[in-house]
Amino acid sequence: MTATPPLTIELETQAAQEVVDITARVEALISKVRGGSCHVFLKHTTAGLMIVTSEKDVPIDIMDILQSLVPQRAYRHDSPAHVAAHFLSALVGPSVHLPIHDGRLALGEFQRVVLMEFEGPRRRAIEIRLLAES
How many separate domains does the chain show?
A: 1
Q: What is the pLDDT of residues 21-68, one digit of tens each?
A: 999 999 999 999 999 999 999 999 999 999 999 999 999 999 999 999
What is the DSSP code string of the chain?
-EE---EEEEEE--SSSEEEE-HHHHHHHHTT--EEEEEEEE--SSEEEEEEE-STTHHHHHHHHHHHTS-----SSS-HHHHHHHHHHHHH-SEEEEEEETTEE---TTEEEEEEESS-S-EEEEEEEEEE--
CATH of the domain at 95: 2.60.120.460
Q: What is the pLDDT of residues 112-131, one digit of tens each?
A: 999 999 999 999 999 999 99
Its domain, for residue 7, covers 2-132
pTM over 0.85: yes
